[in-house]
Structure 1
């Protein structure tokens, strides 16, 4: 006699839950990939630091400028998000070739290219509108960053010239100027040095990524330094740029001796790590070490600037 199995509503519900993808989570990760979440966050931190240091040197309180702060943070985040989304829209063809970008919704098809472009333009326009309420100078710096990243880097130099890294670095380096200029003209030594730190830092950081993903960039036809000139040249360039960071903390003496000492130790350690690259044959592992150090380096440095200027 055949056993008749009566369907259980509890069992079918459990099976249904396992088979049905969590739509909300899927949408969330699509947005994170579309906005390049970690990159966006890394660019927001220097905006905050620039604003915070402007408060400190203007000897004014955070609460007095709370409205400006929210407009600044919202506007700059939207502008940068818009630039990143438009980058995804324009690079969809090469993103399909590179393993590191295969999860982007412009590759998977979860978000159409037309929708992506609309999102990028909308975020950009809203961001500039909010920044215009804060200050014209902040808006100008944000536009320089947006135009450099979208037009000069993404659309013009990325696939043609190894100088694409230098050009792209300008867009990330203006972020503390955006924050500072919301309160004060960014002609002070501090925001200029912050710009310099970020500009120089991005070179070895990007070189490390390019070394790790060299073959992917080669297949996609992106003219990164290790693709065009090889690993030895990239290692030399990495060391030169890291060495160029050494004197910069001494121009920030107003942040105190503790900051200068810690920043110098971070620079010396990074330089030693870069020199180790000439002794090792495991280029992939070395590039990964440089990459990890660069991420922690810039985060620690800009958080430290805030910590040493806290009002207590």
Structure 2
């Protein structure tokens, strides 16, 4: 055998390497970080509904699994379909160019099938919880896939408002699996998530402004500029200030801590008017927002244990 015919070890993928690449691609396809961030509010909503209805978690663990797995599959299906539809702009943007839809590691027809299958399985499981929970799941899925991804994302700066609705229904899914969400607590949870997503997304859009511009995505910093975006960030963060005071049932400690977190974020946001490095400041706002929402929803659970 000629040495040129001997396959190079470096050019062959071992089973372990192939499995690692597949896992990495699936995480990218499902936007694992985004998915995990959306599962927490579902859990918090479920937990708080049990707390305020004086029900024990141990008696509802099967319903909990149906709710968590069902909502995760629905959200995963929406995120996969977003990747399938956005492959053209993902090819242009630096932060998305390694997604399996762009690299071709997972064929687009397979991605479409996965998105549909995840969605159907998710809704099937949610229907075994309550109709109301399934409806909230559908509202989130439809808003994200059709109203945000396919309609508004590339055309209008209010795409962020529409996208925020899909992320804000998550605690309603969890709560509605136990009892009706016609209650001030889940409504405020919805509002907190809805308002939070605006400055959070604006910060990301500022960080990746050039990429969004090249891809033709109508994010606020691309269309209106950084100055307008900074004002919008401050306005939306300020809108968070009164919301904890509608959750007096969670206790004084929660209200005080949530208010301190809100004031801290407002201070960071106002700092944007005095910064010399807009991108560095936007990154700080982004990091604050991620930690803010995670701590806040974990805190809701901790104070009710």
Deviating above 4 A after TM superposition, structure 1's stretches of 4 or more consecutive aligned residues are none
Report which of the two structures shows the higher radius of gyration computed on alpha carbons: 1
The two structures have a TM-score, normalised by structure 2, of 0.96
Q: Does 1:187 align with 2:179?
A: no
Q: Residue in 2 aligned with 1:303?
A: 298
Deviations 1:80-128 (A, max 9, x none): 0000000000000000000010111000000011100000000000000
Q: Alignment partner of 2:273: what SS?
A: coil
Residue 148 (str. 1) matches residue 143 (str. 2) = yes
* Partner residue, 1:5: none
Corresponding pairs, count:
299
Matches of 1:148 and 1:231, distance apart in 2: 27
1:12-49 CA-partner distances (Å, limit 9, x unpaired)? 9xx94796461111000000000000000000000000
- Partners in 2 of 1:243 and 1:58 — Cα distance? 32
Secondary structure of the structure 1 residue equivalent to 2:60: helix
1:129 equivalent in alignment to 2:124: yes
- Cα deviations across residues 124-168 of structure 1 (Å, max 9, x unaligned)? 000000000000000000000000000000000000000000000
TM-align CA RMSD = 1.5
TM-score with structure 1 setting the length:
0.94
Listed as ranges, the matches of 1:1-312 within 5 Å are 16=9, 20=13, 22-310=17-305
- SS of the counterpart of 1:134? coil
Q: Unpaired segments of 5 or more residues in structure 1?
A: 1-11
For 2:71 and 2:186, locate their aligned partners in 1 and report how far apart those are by CA, in whole Å. Answer: 16
Q: Deviations over 1:222-255 (max 9, x none)?
A: 0000000000000000000000000000000000
The residue aligned with 1:4 is none
- Going from structure 1 to structure 2, the CA distance change for 1:18 and 1:107 (only over 3 Å counts) comes to closer
Secondary structure of the corresponding residue to residue 280 of structure 1: coil
Query: Structure 2 stretches of 5 or more lacking a match?
Result: 1-5
CA–CA distance in structure 2, aligned partners of residues 43 and 94 of structure 1: 24
SS in 1 for 2:275: coil
